[in-house]
Amino acid sequence: MLDQELLKRLLVISQLGSFAKAAGKLHVSRQALVEQVAALEKQLCFPIFLRTNRGTRLSRAGEIYLQNTMKLEASYDELLRRCRETTEGVQSVTIGSLPNLPGVSLPIICQKFHKYYPGVQLHFRDFSLPLYFEQFQQGLFDVTAEYIMNYYHPACDLEFLPLAKVRQHIGVLRDSPLANKRFIDFPDLRGHPLFMYREGIGRSEDQLRAYILKHEPDISIVDIDSYDNSLLTKCRMSDGVTLLYTTESFPAFRSLPAAWNIPIELGIGYHRNPPPAVSSLLTLAEELFRSGGRDTA
């Protein structure tokens, strides 16, 4: 693994765009910093930084290297934490979250679980969708986000506990005429490009896609691979709308319930033969959501 102090120095250089400024902030000599980076670049056989008249910036290879090194460091830290907890007899449950997808059922489960099992530590870690199932199989977390049940997955040891079903939502720009509506129906989508996951990522999305292609040919679908920060800009430039899972997925949009009945099934995933703490969380979740997916106590 990359030395954490060196990783910190690479980050500071990339943020400040200058070896001299970075050296000043880190309280080291510029020459020592230059030599340390040069030694790493020689070892890697590619440049991490590009030096120009305008300053220092990451090369494309440097961007890839730094981003993935940070992910590896985080994974390694998580692995060490879990090993230490096992050695010390500490019980914990790590939940793998997804950015921009606030939970509907899971917050209730975790709140109750913390109340009933105060000695068990709950950890939450964000993972990006492209590597989610791979990181799950690597054991970096015990319980998936509840929306993962809607995705196609290759994880061979993944079991699901169904919890609830929620309605699809459509995110519209807050200054759009559509924002004044109580719900969105298919005629409302005509003339507004619909941004949604490309085919083969989500079951609910694929059901909606199949219906639109067959019955609503005037609706234009725009494929996306992820819900990132550029989505708002893309919708604003094209007067588009986007498929959302909840009313809180993207605060920049007004999220309106869809009129059609294509639900998104929620359910948390877990490894087969889970440890006792995870089994207790699953049992509690099943009790809370056995009668309609809501606990009002």
Residues 8 and 138 in one domain: no
Tokens of 266: 């929620």
Per-residue model confidence (pLDDT) at position 88: 66
Residues 179 and 229 in one domain: yes
Per-residue model confidence (pLDDT) at position 296: 30
Residues 30 and 44 in one domain: yes
Domain limit, last residue, from 67, 83, 109: 67
**pLDDT tens sequence across 85-104:** 667 666 889 999 987 788 88
Residues 134 and 207 in one domain: no
Q: Residue 297 falls within a domain, yes or no?
A: no
Q: Residue 78 falls within a domain, yes or no?
A: no
Confidence of residue 163 (pLDDT cuts 50, 70, 90): very high
Residues 220 and 136 in one domain: no
Q: Which amino acid is at 122?
A: L
Q: Residue 285 falls within a domain, yes or no?
A: yes
Q: Residue 86 falls within a domain, yes or no?
A: no
Residues 27 and 44 in one domain: yes
pLDDT of 142 > 70? The answer is yes
* Number of domains the chain contains: 3
CA–CA distance from 225 to each of 110, 129, 137, 258, 290 (Å)? 30, 9, 22, 22, 33
Per-residue model confidence (pLDDT) at position 294: 45
Residues 44 and 185 in one domain: no
Domain residues for 109? 97-165+271-289
- Show the DSSP H helices in the chain as ranges: 4-16, 19-26, 30-44, 60-88, 106-116, 132-137, 186-189, 203-215, 231-238, 276-289
Question: CA–CA separation, 129 vs 205, rounded Å?
Answer: 15
Q: Residue 207 falls within a domain, yes or no?
A: yes
Q: What percent of the chain has pLDDT over 90?
A: 51
Residues 104 and 238 in one domain: no
Q: Residue 249 falls within a domain, yes or no?
A: yes
**pLDDT tens sequence across 183-193:** 999 999 999 99
Q: Residue 87 falls within a domain, yes or no?
A: no
Residues 154 and 280 in one domain: yes
Q: What is the CATH number of the domain that holds 52?
A: 1.10.10.10
Confidence of residue 295 (pLDDT cuts 50, 70, 90): very low
Q: Which amino acid is at 65?
A: Y
pLDDT of 292 > 70? The answer is no
| pLDDT average, residue stretch 248-260 | 88
Higher-confidence residue of 178 and 135: namely 178
Asked if 211 and 189 count as a contact pair (C-beta separation under 8 A), the reply is no
Phi-psi region of 7 (alpha: psi -120 to 50; beta: other; left: phi over 0): alpha
| pLDDT average, residue stretch 169-180 | 95
Residues 173 and 238 in one domain: yes
pLDDT of 59 > 70? The answer is yes
Compute the mean pLDDT over every residue in the chain, rounded to the nearest whole number: 87
Q: Residue 84 falls within a domain, yes or no?
A: no
Q: What is the CATH number of the domain that holds 227?
A: 3.40.190.10
Domain limit, last residue, from 21, 46, 67: 67
Residues 153 and 20 in one domain: no
Residues 62 and 106 in one domain: no
